[in-house]
Each structure stands twice: as C-alpha cells, then as structure tokens.
Amino acid sequence: MFIKKILTTTLATITLSASSLVMADTALDLDSLLKTLEAGQAKQSAQNQQREADFIARQSEQAALLSQTRARREEMISNSQRLEGQFEQNEIELANATELLSKRMGSLKELFGVLQQVSGDTKNKFATSIVSAELPGRGEFMDQLAQKMGSSSKLASIEDIETVWYELQREMTEQGKVKHFTTDVIVSGGDKVKQDVVRVGAFNLISNGKYLEYNAFTDTLSELSRQPVARYLTSAANLQNADSGFVDFALDPTGGSILGLLVQAPDTSEQVHQGGTVGYVILAVGLIGLLISIERFIALFIIGGKMRRQLKSDVIREDNPLGRVMKVKEQFPHVAYDTLELKLSEAILREMPKITRNLTFIKIISVVAPLLGLLGTVTGMINTFQAITLFGTGDPKLMAGGISQALVTTVLGLVVAIPTVFLYTILNTRSKNLLLILQEQSAGIIAERSEKGA
C-alpha cells in the first residue's frame, strides 16, 4: 500500500513538471513564466499536504494490524505449549500401555516372535520352491506379515496365523504330489509357449519330455539350455504320458541343483575337444590302427577258411597259401627230401609277408599312443604353469584348461593303446596259427618224400 502511494506521488510530480515545461514553452515573457511557476509550486504544496494527511490517518489502521498480529502470535505460542504438553503426556501413556501390553502378552510375545521368523523363512522357501510355479503369489502374504510385525510392532490376527499354518501345510502336501498344470514355458528358441507341465513334488518340472528350470526372480519357467542324457529324457517322457501306475523317473531331490551340475558336465565330444591338437592326433592314429586291424581280421579270416578247405580237399588250389606250398611238391617230384625241404621253406617265406602284413604297424601304434598321451600331458602342464605365472593361483578356472588337456590326452592315449594291444595279440596269434599249419603240412610232405627215398 505504501509503495503504491509513492509511485502515485512520483507520477503526479512528473506530470506536473511536464505541464510546467509545456506552459514554459508557451509563455510569452518572463512575468508570465514566473506566474506559471508560482502556480505550479502552490499546487504541488497542496498535494504534499494531502498525502501527509492521508499517512497520518492510516497510522491508527497500521497500529490495529500490529496489535492483531501480536495477539495471534501469543495464541499460537500458547497452542504450541499446550500441544507439547499433550505430546509428552501421550508419550508417557504410550510407554505405560506398551509395558502393560508386554506384561499381558507373556508367552504370546514369544509366539509372535516365532511367527514373524517363520513368516520370513517361509517367504524365502516359497521363493525358491518349484511349487510356486503352479501356485504363484504365496510369498507376498508372508512378506507383508513379517514386515507388519517387524516395523510397526502390530500383532497378528487369528486369520493371519491360520493363513500361515495353511500355507505351510499346503507346501508339505504338494511335495508328495505329481500334478499336471498348464502355464507359459520359454522354449529353447526364446519363444514363450503355453504347454502342459508336470510337477513332481517340489523336486522337478518337466514338459514335452524335457526338464524345466524355475526362475524365482522373474517367476518364469524355461527349458534347460542343456538337457541330460537320453535315458533321463526318456523317463521324463514316460512320466508325462503316464495316466496311472508306477513309472521310473530320474528325480533330483535337491530341487534342481544336482541336475544343473549334471548338465554342466562336459559330454564325450566336449572332453575329446579338450585334448586339443594332441588329442586329435591320438584319435587319428587310433582310427588308422582300427582300420588296419579290421582289414587284417577280414583277410586272415578269408585265408584261414581257404586253408581249411584245402586241408579237406585232395585237389591242390593256388588261391590259398597252403595250396601254393603244396604245389611245390608237384613241381619238384624227383628231388631229394633235403632239397624239397629248402624249396618248401622258400615257399613258406614267400607266404609269410601276406599273412603277417601290417601287424608290426599295429604294434607300433599300441606303443606310440601312450607316448602321444604323455606328450599331451606335458603340454597341458606347461599351459597350466604359464597360467599360474601370469595370473597366480587365485582362480582355479584359469588352470582348468591346461589340466583338462593333460588328463584328457592321457586318457585318449590309454584308450587307443589298450584295445590296440589286444587287437595285435589276437591278429598275431591268428597269423602264427596259419604259419604253423603251413610248417606242419610242409614237415609232413618232407617226411613223406623221405620215406619214399628210403
């Protein structure tokens, strides 16, 4: 209000000055100008007197406002003191009421403490239980009850206690059931598909013959990225398709922990890849030895069959080693028995490379395979020590690659060497038996010729 009056006075003064200047411009002489200034000065003096009168008149109004404000301040101070006293009184009454409540609760206070603890533990249990995949939202009530009893110290009602008991009882009951229900499942491609799911107690979830994983944070079901071996999947499919009776099923009593470790274990092909270059060389050498052994088995089987038929026949055939050896007797009918012996020995020596061909190479493979495994072991240990030198021993995973290579190559070398030794022994024995037949028949021919000569 006061600032408004000052602005009004200033505006009036500027207007008066402007009017004076205009009048000065229109004055004809000095007398006229003097009269004009006297008139303006008189007018301004009258206005100042009027403003002073107005200010004096409003002093009583300002005093009334000041008095009213002071009275209101005193009232608020009095009200504040009254509220402070009431607050202190309420604090005393609240402390007395809390003490009285604690005395009256007695053993119930311990009961509610146990109930709060059980609610918190049950919430965590429900969060990780696969039963929640079928019955979602059970942990929310437990969480709210635990927070209500913990933060605000409120007492649980009879309905709350009965609900906790009911949920615990339902969890125990559901652990002994095999149930079907339909829900969304994230398949291997990443799509969410509604499928029929079988819950085996609180242990495993299966769908379409595959094991599922329950994510408590997102409340979703998804197929395991890596499924267990075929026999476990077969049991899962049989359980899902069964309507009644008993079905063999691979159950994980840990609720998925063992299954998660099982699917993380490398399979045979992955273990072979861990052997690296040395492992591939060992497998290649073993494959070559196997192919040679198969060829030798077939060849010796055919030669042995032809020689057995030759033993039963009086007609000499040249399609088998025995027939070619016996043919020497007809080629040299009149030589002495000692000369015939040399000719027969020569014929047997010609047949020996065909019977014993590549057996030495199989024996070499049986010796070289463990040496290659040892080479891979040394290479893997070198890699392990290099990792230790660079990164230390704080993280065992950094050393696992070298150790895996060392052990896998050793295993591959033994896997190739042991069967190769057996194959060589069998083939060598079989070839020696065939050569023994040739020597036996050769000795008989020499004896027959010796008797005729005598």
- pLDDT tens, position by position, 230-261: 788 888 888 888 877 788 887 877 776 777 77
Mean pLDDT value across residues 265-270? 68
Q: What is the mean pLDDT of the chain?
A: 80
Which pLDDT belongs to residue 290?
93
pTM of the model: 0.53
Task: Flag the least confident range among 26-30, 251-255, 303-307, 314-318.
Answer: 26-30
- pLDDT higher than 70, residue 20: no
Which H or E element spans position 337? helix 337-355
- pLDDT higher than 50, residue 7: no
Mean pLDDT value across residues 281-287? 92
209: in domain: yes
- Same domain assignment for residues 215 and 136: no
End of a domain among 85, 120, 141? 85
- pLDDT higher than 60, residue 8: no
- Same domain assignment for residues 328 and 435: yes
* Among 1, 12, 14, 3, CA closest to 50: 12
213: in domain: yes
Q: Strand 178-186 and strand 220-223: pairing?
A: parallel
101: in domain: no
Query: CB within 8 A of 3, min separation 6: which ones?
Result: none
Mean pLDDT value across residues 387-413? 73
- Same domain assignment for residues 322 and 371: yes
Rounded to the nearest 10 degrees, the angle between the axes of helix 276-312 and helix 359-391 is 170
Which pLDDT belongs to residue 288?
93
- Same domain assignment for residues 336 and 210: no
Query: CB within 8 A of 358, min separation 6: which ones?
Result: 292, 295, 296
- Same domain assignment for residues 409 and 324: yes
Task: Flag the least confident range among 19-28, 31-40, 328-337, 357-366.
Answer: 19-28
287: in domain: yes
- Same domain assignment for residues 186 and 170: no
- Same domain assignment for residues 166 and 189: no
* Among 377, 369, 437, 445, CA closest to 406: 377
Which pLDDT belongs to residue 10?
44
Task: Flag the least confident range among 9-23, 32-46, 192-206, 290-304.
Answer: 9-23
94: in domain: no
Task: Flag the least confident range among 93-102, 182-191, 319-328, 383-392.
Answer: 383-392
End of a domain among 200, 231, 265? 265
Mean pLDDT value across residues 266-284? 79
Band (pLDDT 50/70/90 cuts) for residue 402 is: low
Band (pLDDT 50/70/90 cuts) for residue 151 is: low
Which H or E element spans position 80? helix 30-105
Express as a percent the part of the chain with pLDDT over 70.
84
Considering only residues 431 and 14, tell me which one the structure prediction assigns the higher pLDDT: 431
Rg (CA), the chain: 55
100: in domain: no
Which pLDDT belongs to residue 22?
43
* DSSP 8-state code for residue 215: E
- Given phi > 0 = left and psi -120 to 50 = alpha, else beta, which region is 322? alpha
- Given phi > 0 = left and psi -120 to 50 = alpha, else beta, which region is 276? left
- Torsion angles phi and psi, residue 333, rounded to 5: -75, -20
End of a domain among 118, 143, 175? 175
Cα distances from 365 to residues 190, 377, 378, 431, in angstroms, run 48, 18, 20, 19
What is the rounded CA–CA span in Å between residue 377 and residue 372?
9
CB atoms within 10 A of CB 435: 16
Which residues partner with 181 through β-bridges? Answer: 197
Mean pLDDT value across residues 143-157? 71
Considering only residues 268 and 418, tell me which one the structure prediction assigns the higher pLDDT: 418
Indicate the number of domains in the chain: 4
30: in domain: yes
- pLDDT higher than 70, residue 24: no
Which pLDDT belongs to residue 4?
43
97: in domain: no
What is the rounded CA–CA span in Å between residue 130 and residue 203?
7
Mean pLDDT value across residues 64-78? 88
- Same domain assignment for residues 300 and 442: yes
Range of the domain at 132: 109-175
- pLDDT higher than 50, residue 18: no
One-letter amino acid of 240 = Q
CB 327 within 8 A of CB 445: no
Range among 25-29, 89-93, 135-139 with highest mean pLDDT value: 89-93
- Same domain assignment for residues 399 and 359: yes
- pLDDT higher than 70, residue 335: yes
- pLDDT higher than 90, residue 50: no
- pLDDT higher than 70, residue 27: no
Cα distances from 228 to residues 167, 247, 250, in angstroms, run 33, 18, 10
Band (pLDDT 50/70/90 cuts) for residue 425 is: very high
On the CB side of 231, how many CA atoms lie within 13 Å of its CA?
Answer: 3
- pLDDT higher than 70, residue 326: yes
- pLDDT higher than 70, residue 296: yes
Tokens of 173: 């009951």
Range among 17-31, 269-283, 300-314, 330-344 with highest mean pLDDT value: 300-314
Band (pLDDT 50/70/90 cuts) for residue 409 is: confident
CB 188 within 8 A of CB 213: no
Which pLDDT belongs to residue 446?
85
- Same domain assignment for residues 429 and 322: yes
Which pLDDT belongs to residue 61?
77
- Same domain assignment for residues 333 and 372: yes
- pLDDT higher than 90, residue 213: no
What is the rounded CA–CA span in Å between residue 340 and residue 327?
12
Which pLDDT belongs to residue 301?
92
Number of helices (H) and strands (E), helices first, in the chain?
13, 5
Band (pLDDT 50/70/90 cuts) for residue 292 is: very high
Tokens of 154: 């409120």
Tokens 């071996």 sit at which residue? 229
- Same domain assignment for residues 195 and 317: no
Angle (nearest 5°) at CA 200 between 196 and 203: 125
Which pLDDT belongs to residue 16?
42
For 4-56, the DSSP string reads: HHHHHHHHHHHHHHHHHHHHHHH--SHHHHHHHHHHHHHHHHHHHHHHHHHHH
